[in-house]
Structure 1
Amino acid sequence: MKFKTNRIKIILECLEQQTIVRNCISRYFTSKNKRNTSSKLKLRKFNPFLKRVTLHQEI
């Protein structure tokens, strides 16, 4: 039997680093439930290039 899943794979990209450095951007891959969170996801994640926690948004 085949099950329908509501989870989709998404990419989170740093918002602060887009304005500062263009050549290397911090990205995270994760999944979300599109039925519960239909809007774009925003999470605070660690950015290894800036060496601090920054805001990452779904692209």
Structure 2
Amino acid sequence: MRNNIILECVETGERLYLTSKNQRNTPERLELKKYSPKLRRKAIFREIKK
């Protein structure tokens, strides 16, 4: 089953991206490099609890 998750920037704390992941295959928290408009560069975005 796929769950919707919110990604938050580690550096600025902005919550911009909404994605989904399979809870069975990846039980740990997701970390992705995405574009941050505040920093105007790619930054690490980490999954947060809802």
TM-score under structure 2 length normalisation: 0.89
Distance in 2 (alpha carbons) for counterparts of 1:7 and 1:26: 20
Runs of 4+ in 1 over 6 A off after TM superposition: none
TM-aligned CA deviation for residue 47 of structure 1 = 0.2
The structure that has the greater radius of gyration is 1
The count of corresponding residues between Structure 1 and Structure 2 is: 48
More strand by share: 2
- What is the percentage of aligned positions where both structures have the same residue? 48
Which amino acid counterpart does residue 39 of structure 1 have in structure 2? Answer: E
**Where in structure 2 are the equivalents of 1:1-59 lying within 5 Å?**
6-18=1-13, 25-59=14-48
Report the RMSD for the aligned CA atoms in angstroms: 0.9
Calculate the TM-score normalised by the size of structure 1: 0.76
CA apart distance, 1:42: 0.3
Could you say which structure has the higher helix fraction? 1
Q: Which runs of 5+ in 1 are unaligned?
A: 1-5, 19-24
